[in-house]
Amino acid sequence: MLREMGRASIADLFRGVPAGLRLNRLLDLPAALSEAEALDHFRLLADANATRVSSFLGAGAYDHFIPTVIDTLISRSEFYTSYTPYQPEITQGTLQAIFEFQTLICELTGMDVANASLYDGSTAAAEAVLMAERVTGRSRVAIAANLHPEYREVVDTYIRNAGIAAQTLPTDAEAGTLAPGPLEDLGPEVAAVVVQSPNFFGGVEDLTALAEATHRAGALLVVVVAEGLSLGLLRAPGACGADVVCGEAQSFGIPLSFGGSYCGFFAVREKYQRQLPGRLVGQAQDTQGRGGYVLTLATREQHIRREKATSNICTNQGLYALMATIYLSTLGRRGVREVAEQNLQKAHYAAGRVAALGGHRLRFTAPFFNEFVVTCPRPAAEVLDRLRGRGIVGGLPLSRFFPEMTHDLLVCVTETAPKAEIDGLVDNLKAEV
Amino acid sequence: MKATTHISQNEGLIFERSRAGRVGYRLPALDVEAAPAAELLGPALLREDDLAGLPEVSEVDVIRHFTRLSTWNYAVDYGMYPLGSCTMKYNPKLNERVARLEGFAAAHPYLPDALAQGNLELLKRLEECLAEITGLPAVSLQPAAGAQGEMTGLMVIRRCLETRGRARRRVLIPDSAHGTNPASAAICGYEVQTLKSNARGAIDLENLRRVVDEDVAALMLTNPSTLGMFEENIEEICRIVHEAGGLVYMDGANMNALVGVTRPGDMGVDVIHLNLHKTFSTPHGGGGPGAGPIAVTAELEPFLPLPRVAGEPGALRLDYNRPQSVGRVRAFHGNFSVLVRALCYILSLGPDGLREATETAVLNANYLAHHLEPDYEVAVDGQPMHEVIFSDKRQSKHGVHTLDIAKRLIDYGFHPMTIYFPLIVPGAMMVEPTESEGREELDLFIEAMRAIAREARETPELVKGAPHNTRIGRLDEAAAARRPALRYRAAKA
């Protein structure tokens, strides 16, 4: 090839790089591994993680059963080695799947329009705040104290330089859900009230009441859903009056994978569809009247609008939105409901048994879905250390995010926990009394 | 000829397959005592629609449905995907296998550090590799994508300048830049000042000296530029910005031209983001997930986002106590499943393999440039690196434009190149073959492009009506945007 081009050497092709900048050595990296060696190497690393424990961790990342068909289908090269569908004639598969994803998210959340997905639940929450500021022209945001603390940190990062100030709405000490009082007093500058339901402590919020109070102040209600499967049972936030419903679709067939990649979703009322961040797929027709799908309303986006775009995002989580779409199709109307029901029942069975132990008690009184807070008779970190010695990861010590909650433990029970494992947790907690 | 038409299955929406009572799953029987949901939650909190909008389908329905959809896509595994700036290289299958190992895939992000030593070691090793590759000592793997890397990098710059005294007001961005650059700068509270590129798409040094002042926080530049040329004056550019107290951000979208050959840190760059889904072979997935780690100088390390991996192998931990950090840019610890794949790529290629990949990518682009020059106008003179930009100047005379050429390529069995970008080249066609293509595939592409050039002269209507062999023709995007239909709604019974 070089000869054909009349070039003497490969180095000749790099003559644009000043000689002083050329690396005249190999990179200081390990020598290449064969396939067998690389596989061994990664197996060793993977095995250095203890994943075969009895785990009751949730807190924004949920262990749910993943049907085999998902990996079968997303392993098709046509899906995972394809690019963003900018050329609709040869990416109708991706485009139609995203259209189905958008529809499924609308159905679950009770909203009119959903985008093609965002990075994760936390950045979806941050984008919702930025959108609320655009829509209302107001520059304050009121955020529930029981929003996932990492989501809150992300929102704070995104708004720091955007001229938006945040205030915190306190949690009712007894119920664990938002205290109603402060909502009556939002003031005229609040663009959005951001609440999570089920909240970080597992409690289900009274969204209808929150929507009324929020709208009285002329603000948007942003409902964040970190546990998507709760929507299988709980009234759709859209039916409660939410203006934006966003969150995390990880529960829909996406592996835990140490926290990523996940899949944020974002749904709004129709009147805000031109203010949405991220990609959107819509129906279109060709010159012969044949129907298909295209990326649409692109004039909101960075490649057209540059610094005036609704967001800097340039991608979605295509393959992971596809996973969620396959999950929601496979489980379908009956399955999503049944999985949600099993989560509810198992979590309540566990909570009931823990509460009956004496010594441990349930911290909050609000209704919950599959997570609840246990107050231990001694520091939660100590309790967890001893449980771990018996192969149980008993939950998340809340002191990690709330230093004053020294004795509190966030416990998540999903459909993947057999009764025997739940009983194992309870029996071991009993020893801590 | 690379492609022939064949039967393509038709398929409606999954909702249209739905039949009442059909299921595609079986759960284990509930093994605890159950109480009515209305009792546990209260009736006011329950859904009332019984999820009527979700489909009811069998497992075979699901498999047929999505398999049929998949066949409507073009993919890297079908052939060359010459999207300039996107680096559509082959996605090694081993990477897919290791990312699915149970120890990675089943790890909860809040596993105690002691139970996640393998993951933490993997993150640390990837950080070390990327530091060596970029020549910048500190790496954060947190950003979820290139655009988020840009945002994070600019926040790091802002924090650093605040610490030095003042955040400053403006970010300089060449007119050839990706649209994410100005959008990211805006999120960080900076005004964007657009720099006009010179005739070769490079930074005009005189102009740069004129506009750099004490209000300039940073210059964001892409190197090689989006015209595929190495920024020859990069050291001088960095010096000019640094002398005025600003910092240099490099968009690493085109890093596939540089790995193992030259390092941004050695050029004087302060921050770079890397697109692991481009340079480091992780799949694009039809539009994500990717990952956009950033690498920075030692001075900027304290400002990197939370958390950071700290400690020594065997006792690694996630460090959240970093008071100078810009904060958190996403939940948990980055797009871990993408990071696993990228490390597997780096370790599989090794230092010589990485350099060879770069050399081959540049060789391939030059080979295409050499053979297509007789038929297509090259946008700028000079030595292309990993991609080459043509324009439709010659074909326009026959009424055939870039969009038509791109669509006609589809009929020849190729995915089109990137079109109408960079914005500074009218009718731009940006071709990036990557190192994955052998000479035979490149020759097929050259043949197709030559044939299209001939058609543009002799039968322009054929090109203007393309594609002819796809399931659907060109879609009316303007009508779609005027009256958006963004979801399916069941017909009312």
Domain membership of residue A126 (yes or no) is: yes
Average pLDDT, chain B: 96
Q: CB–CB of A333 and B100 under 8 A?
A: no
Q: Name the residue among A60, A279, A346 with its Cβ closest to that of B32.
A: A346
The tens digit of pLDDT for each residue in A46-90 reads 999 988 899 999 999 999 999 999 999 999 999 999 999 999 999
Q: Which residue of B has its CA nearest to A282?
A: B486
For residues B455-471, average pLDDT = 97
In degrees to the nearest 10, what's the CA dihedral of A21, A25, A30, A36? Answer: 100
Contact A204, B45 (CB under 8 A): yes
Q: Are residues A317 and A389 in the same domain?
A: no
Whether the CB of A73 is below 8 Å from some CB of chain B: the reply is: yes
| pLDDT > 70 fraction of chain A, expressed in percent and rounded | 100
Q: Are residues A307 and A370 in the same domain?
A: no
For residues A112-120, average pLDDT = 97
Q: How far away is chain B from the Cα of A259, in angstroms, using its nearest Cα?
A: 5
Q: Name the residue among A87, A150, A318 with its Cβ closest to that of B287.
A: A318
d(CA B210, CA B205): 9
**Domain tally, chain A:** 2
Confidence of residue A182 (pLDDT cuts 50, 70, 90): confident
Q: Are residues A370 and A291 in the same domain?
A: no
pLDDT for A315: 81
Q: How far away is chain A from the Cα of B393, in angstroms, using its nearest Cα?
A: 22
Model confidence at B490: pLDDT above 90: no
Here the tokens at position B281 are 């072979």
pLDDT for B493: 53
The tens digit of pLDDT for each residue in B318-342 reads 999 999 999 999 999 999 999 999 9
pLDDT for A309: 81
Q: CB–CB of A419 and B179 under 8 A?
A: no
CATH assignment of B351-479, among 3.30.365.10, 3.90.1150.10, 3.40.50.1110, 3.40.50.1820? 3.90.1150.10
Q: CB–CB of B287 and A84 under 8 A?
A: yes
Distances (CA, A) of B178 to A307, A334, A416, B195, B268: 11, 45, 45, 13, 21
Whether the CB of A179 is below 8 Å from some CB of chain B: the reply is: no
Contact B104, B121 (CB under 8 A): no
Q: Which of B332, B387, B439 to mutate to test the interface with A (most CBs of A within 10 A)?
A: B332
Q: Are residues A426 and A298 in the same domain?
A: no
Domain spans of chain B, in order of start:
14-70, 94-347, 351-479
Q: Are residues A292 and A424 in the same domain?
A: no
ipTM: 0.97
pTM over 0.95: yes
Q: Are residues A179 and A294 in the same domain?
A: yes
CATH code 3.40.640.10 for B94-347: yes
Q: CB–CB of A77 and B76 under 8 A?
A: yes
d(CA A360, CA A374): 7
Q: Are residues A380 and A291 in the same domain?
A: no
d(CA B135, CA A105): 43
d(CA A321, CA A331): 15
pLDDT for A304: 77
Domain membership of residue A11 (yes or no) is: no
Q: How far away is chain A from the Cα of B124, in angstroms, using its nearest Cα?
A: 12
Domain membership of residue A179 (yes or no) is: yes
Q: How far away is chain A from the Cα of B153, in angstroms, using its nearest Cα?
A: 13
Confidence of residue B190 (pLDDT cuts 50, 70, 90): very high
Confidence of residue B355 (pLDDT cuts 50, 70, 90): very high
The tens digit of pLDDT for each residue in A198-243 reads 999 999 999 999 999 999 999 999 999 999 999 999 999 999 999 9
CATH code for position A246? 3.40.640.10
Model confidence at A433: pLDDT above 80: no
The tens digit of pLDDT for each residue in A255-296 reads 999 999 999 999 999 999 999 999 999 999 999 999 999 999
Model confidence at A342: pLDDT above 90: yes
For residues B372-400, average pLDDT = 95
Q: Are residues A152 and A251 in the same domain?
A: yes
Here the tokens at position B167 are 């955040």
Q: Name the residue among B234, B367, B383 with its Cβ closest to that of A1.
A: B367
Q: Name the residue among A258, A263, A388 with its Cβ closest to that of B333.
A: A258
For A265, phi then psi, to 5°, come to -120, 160
Q: Using a CB-CB distance cutoff of 8 angstroms, which residues of chain B are in contact with residue A237? A: none
d(CA A114, CA A128): 12
pLDDT for B366: 97
pLDDT for B492: 65
The tens digit of pLDDT for each residue in B150-188 reads 999 999 999 999 999 999 999 999 999 999 999 999 999
Contact A297, B479 (CB under 8 A): no
Average pLDDT, chain A: 96
pLDDT for B321: 94
Contact A354, A156 (CB under 8 A): no
CA atoms within 13 A on the CB side of A82: 30
Q: Are residues A81 and A59 in the same domain?
A: no
Query: Where a domain ends, among A278, A297, A327?
Result: A327
Residues 255-284 of A with CB under 8 A from B: 255-263, 273, 279-284
Domain membership of residue A304 (yes or no) is: yes
Contact B414, B448 (CB under 8 A): yes
Q: CB–CB of B487 and A106 under 8 A?
A: yes
Residue B123 CA to its chain's centroid (Å): 20
Q: Name the residue among A208, A231, A259 with its Cβ closest to that of B332.
A: A259
Q: Which residue of B has its CA nearest to A401?
A: B320
Query: Where a domain ends, among A327, A357, A387?
Result: A327
The tens digit of pLDDT for each residue in B32-44 reads 999 999 999 999 9
The tens digit of pLDDT for each residue in A99-110 reads 999 999 999 999
Query: Where a domain ends, among A327, A354, A387?
Result: A327
pLDDT for A348: 98
Q: Using a CB-CB distance cutoff of 8 angstroms, which residues of chain B are in contact with residue A112? A: 487
Q: CB–CB of A419 and B473 under 8 A?
A: no
Q: Using a CB-CB distance cutoff of 8 angstroms, which residues of chain A are in contact with residue B256? A: none
The tens digit of pLDDT for each residue in B274-319 reads 999 999 999 999 999 999 999 999 999 999 999 999 999 899 999 9
Q: Which of A155, A315, A371 to mutate to test the interface with B (most CBs of B within 10 A)?
A: A315
Distances (CA, A) of A378 to A57, A375, B31, B160: 19, 8, 31, 43
Domain membership of residue A420 (yes or no) is: yes
Q: Which residue of A has its CA nearest to B75?
A: A82
Question: Is the bond preceding A149 in cis, omega lying within 30 degrees of 0?
Answer: no
The tens digit of pLDDT for each residue in B211-226 reads 999 999 999 999 999 9
Q: Are residues A154 and A298 in the same domain?
A: yes
3-state secondary structure chain A: CHHHHCCCCHHHHCCCCCHHHECCCCCCCCCCCCHHHHHHHHHHHHHCECCCCEECCCCCCCCCCCCHHHHHHHCCHHHHCCCCCCCHHHEHHHHHHHHHHHHHHHHHHCCCEECCCECCHHHHHHHHHHHHHHHHCCCEEEEECCCCHHHHHHHHHHHCCCCCEEEEECECCCCCCECCHHHHHCCCCEEEEEEECCCCCCECCCHHHHHHHHHHCCCEEEEEECCHHHHHCECCHHHHCCCEEEEECCCCCCCCHHHCCCCEEEEECHHHHHHCCCCCEEEEEECCCCEEEEECCHHHCHHHHHHHCCCCCCCCCHHHHHHHHHHHHHHHHHHHHHHHHHHHHHHHHHHHHHHHCCCCEECCCCCECCEEEEECCCCHHHHHHHHHHCCEECCEEHHHCCCCCCCEEEEECCCCCCHHHHHHHHHHHHCCC
Q: Are residues A234 and A376 in the same domain?
A: no
Q: Are residues A198 and A261 in the same domain?
A: yes
Q: CB–CB of A320 and B285 under 8 A?
A: yes
Q: CB–CB of A26 and B355 under 8 A?
A: yes
| pLDDT > 90 fraction of chain B, expressed in percent and rounded | 96
For residues B120-146, average pLDDT = 98
Q: CB–CB of A233 and B287 under 8 A?
A: no
Confidence of residue A362 (pLDDT cuts 50, 70, 90): very high
Domain containing residue A77:
68-327
Q: Name the residue among A257, A331, A419 with its Cβ closest to that of B25.
A: A331
Whether the CB of A167 is below 8 Å from some CB of chain B: the reply is: no
Q: Using a CB-CB distance cutoff of 8 angstroms, which residues of chain B are in contact with residue A393? A: 108, 111-112, 115
